[in-house]
């Protein structure tokens, strides 16, 4: 009788592990999707700004997508702006 219940428990653990893996993958995918949507919204907002407004926040039009991804070295940008 104990062998039977051990087998049932092992199958239950395997199913729970699979469910946890699928859940973790779905959570990861959803997080990436939300981040992508926020990035696209930021890009759209920045593209709607005038060149003067972009200059006020330290960006050029060509830096919009890089800035939305968070790949801009802010220290380097400040140094370039002060030399203009």
Q: Taking the domains of the chain in order of start, what are their residue ranges?
A: 2-82
Q: Is the pTM of this model over 0.85?
A: no
Q: How many C-beta atoms lie closer than 10 Å to residue 69's C-beta? A: 11
Measured over the CA atoms of residue 62, residue 74, residue 37 and residue 21, the dihedral's sign is positive
Instruction: List pLDDT tens digits, range 21-79.
Output: 999 999 999 999 999 999 999 999 999 999 999 999 999 999 999 999 988 776 555 43
d(CA 40, CA 32): 12
């Amino acid at each position: 009788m104990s062998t039977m219940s051990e087998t049932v428990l092992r199958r239950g653990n395997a199913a729970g592990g699979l469910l946890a893996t699928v859940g973790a993958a779905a959570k990861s995918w959803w997080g990436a999707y939300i981040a992508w949507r926020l990035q696209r919204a930021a890009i759209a907002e920045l593209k709607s700004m005038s060149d003067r407004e972009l200059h006020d926040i330290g960006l050029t039009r060509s830096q919009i997508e890089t800035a939305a991804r968070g790949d801009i070295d802010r220290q380097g940008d400040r140094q370039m702006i002060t030399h203009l």
